[in-house]
Structure 1
Amino acid sequence: MKFIIADDEHLIRASIRIMIQEVETSWDLVGEASNGEELLELVQEHKPSVAIIDIRMPRMSGLEAMRLGKIISPCTKWIILSGYSDFSYAQEAVKLGASEYLLKPINPVELERALTNTAKDNKEFIRMLNQQFENSLFALCNGLTSLKFEELDSVFIQGWFVGAICLFDTTMTGRALSDLMCVFYDELRLRMNRQLVYGMNFAVVSLPSGDMAAIGSWDPSKGVDCRDQMQHFFGALDELAQSYQREGTAVTILQTRDCHGFESLNMQLVQLGQWSHLRVICGIGRRVGYEELEAEASVPAKVKVSQLFCSIKHHLHFRAYLNYQTAVGEMEILFQQDQRLTMDQTKQAVQLFMQHALGIRMTGPSSEDEVIHELRSLGELRLLEIKPREPVTADFIEHVVQYIEQHYMDDVGIGQIAHQLNVSANYLSTQFHKKTGTPFVKYLTNIRMLKAKELLLNTNLQVKQIAEKVGYYSTRHFTKLFVENCSSYPSDFRKSQV
């Protein structure tokens, strides 16, 4: 967003410029003026989103320049600067339509709030704030930062959240599955952007497990209670998931309750991940709420059978014949021991999972014996005749490590690597953590921070340039991660090593 600074004192203009650079690099300073006439020339040329002007300036006062500037550029918003002795002028400025009024000396926090309030109806600004939210949320979800860096009035402490994990059950693998998921998440982001208003945020983030989650937040303290709009969006997410249900593919949405603050959201997302196998019993291809999963989790037999079905899916993918048949044998015994598993609703859910996740289509209601027979037949057809695939070994993980070290500056995600390797993101995440002792995202961040330290010590690059060279396009986000990782600000780290 374009802005202009107008003040007859050079030092004040410089301090405002520096403050705004610290607020967010997406603000684009297009000009500085030392008097009212220069200000009007800049407004005429650039039609800025925001003009920050001093009331008292030579040649033409800030008030007169603002009055004429509103005619030249009706969409420009005006932030007025004044001293205590100019209070009557400030009152007049407010009558003229000034968006904000700040006293000198200027407080950086107050300036940031004034910019936010001034631009809160601007779509570009709202998207910019949402990108900040998504960056911070990703870092919090993956343990890269903590809430101690958040202000007490932050949305992550005071706001409300709803989260949903999106799970794909399909016979697709490799590139075909990757392409399908990319199309799904692209469409999801388009819908999110259409819903955005000030006081509401959306994000699609990768969780430590490798699963993807859609997360929405709203902050009633901003004056907008977006709960109804948020609920409407997650209903639309359910419709989007159902539109992807076709032969061999189903998308299931596991949704949290309304959560007050990030800590509550994170706990529920972790719990949903632990319960994700229960979709087998609840029925895939639909939205399943936290309460429903919680109820099913209280029935040990349902927990066990859903875990076995997910294990069977995993063993089928990796052609682990003995493990596959052992799981089928355990399931046969479980069917015989617990009659609750023979209820029609449970049998329908199981057959739906078999159809989409395993490629077994059974016409009409089937007995437990028929289910076991179909599973064993699949094992004989798909597993015995095919040479077992090489397991994910230490050497395999070493290749992933090498890839990270070569591409740390790019937009690297475990999902894209997993799809290239024809394994699930969840599986690769588990194996990577087991081999390296560090979650994938933390490992990537550690590499980036090490490279950033090298650049801070061995170059004269600005912090913004270093952030971009190690894969971050928000200086604020990079600085927050650097402080968490290195216990000092980038500029302080550079000075301390001189």
Structure 2
Amino acid sequence: MYNVFIVDDEAVVRDGLKRTINWQEHGFELVGDFANGREVLEAMEHTVPDVIISDISMPFMDGLELAAAVVRKYPYVKIIILTGFDEFEYAQQAIRLKVSDFILKPITAHEMRELLQKVKREMDEVTRQHEDLSRLYSQLKQSLPLLKERFLERLVVNGLKAPEIAERFQYFGLNPLAPLQLVMVVDIDDFGERQIRSDRGGDTEILRYAAFNVLEEIAGREGQLLFRTREERIVLLLAGEPEESALYEQAYRIAEEARYYIDKFLKFTVSIGVGQAVRNAEELPVSYANALSALDYRFLLGKNRVLSILDVEGRPAGGTQPRNDWDRQLASAVKTGSLQDVRQLIQKFVADLKVSMAPLDSSILHIQKVILSLVNATQELGLEDFRIQLTDVYKFKTLDEIGNWLEESAASVMTAIADNRNHYTLAQVRKAAEYIETHYSQEKISLQDICRHVLMSTSYFSLVFKQHTGETFVEYLTRVRMDKAKELLQHTALKLYEIAGKVGYGDPNYFSILFKKHAGMTPREYRERLAKEIQA
């Protein structure tokens, strides 16, 4: 069943479509009807439909403006434009916006049913292509050559020198990576409600390839490199954007699209870690390590998310080469696990040292590697005031004493990291709020503008902004604008349309509607009430 929005400023048209069409019979569920494009965009903050059927001529925001806004943020939503204007330029503009259909009014109920059947067939075909596991299994045999995948894996995991990178890229027929570059790592959370039989290991491989196939389509369209690692993760290399903000924006858009399609069509979820931007291919291991660290925050924030290292840790203090598996496991537990997890890990480490009967010098070296992992964790997050000395280990005489000290040190590191993370997130939310307070008068201010300003992904920003303010971005912006409007109504003699313009609304009628919804009365009534209170 596909969800549908109807958008038309004429209530009689909307009512007619609701009454005369049996939507469920055609495989659709009508989940909303709206009088203009702005109402649709506000509703899509909470519910994203599969199809939007919109009139072209409406107040506040017409159908083509709505289509442009939807295509930018929700490229997977089908848009059908209904219009009474039989003009070539409208059709041309609709084609440029990738509108699915451009239909001339008046349209009969019979024509609408035929249109819905056509749209459903198209969407069913897309679904079938993504869900046809037998077709995907045959494509699996024709996937990227293993040698190329292993080369790309070495490039991001271990790092290579510039001459070898250039030689290998030429050998595999790959275009050189232009600056800037970053690494994204995609990891399957689980397989959802699917029942995977233990005696049919091929099922999981087909599903993994299905996810790879979705990302391969997106990467091919964007002209970016994609490969799989031996840990059964999918890695995407982005390159060619000279500005950091543009590169991160592209990464977030690709990641959100991939996450949506896998959840929608394959019925399971992935989490995606986004590393920091680097200037050349030799530095890709830094970005790869960042992406893995970002993925570790899935434990705290939940599955089915896009997690950027800038979102969760801020800008890393400097590049470090990837740690070995044990060191990364400890650093991950310190940053995202519970204190109990960290203590168990350290206790196991101490117990293994005891069993090994290793010489004192060898044991000290292993312990100092543990200390170094804790130091790296603090430095990566910019906690320069936190000090752990490698030589502190010589103060103790037994492994048990060292184990207790390590547990106390790790607990202190975890407290400092949690405080730093909360401080950074709160600072970014305050920065966003200040941006809104400064730019509320701009009519076109958007969630994407705010996220570009604070360098956060839209999904993560929306989560933390609501947690810290208790309001969504749209709710917060509207409240700020309404508060400013009340001040102008009380302290100035500006006309209502002038006040509307000063608080970001080019259409005074739409401003009046929102003001009444917010204050319970129109702007004129609000001003008159204030005047009466002063006279009294």
TM-score by length of 1: 0.38
Looking at both structures, which has the greater relative contact order when contacts are Cα pairs under 8 Å and sequence separation is at least 6?
A: 1
TM-score by length of 2: 0.36
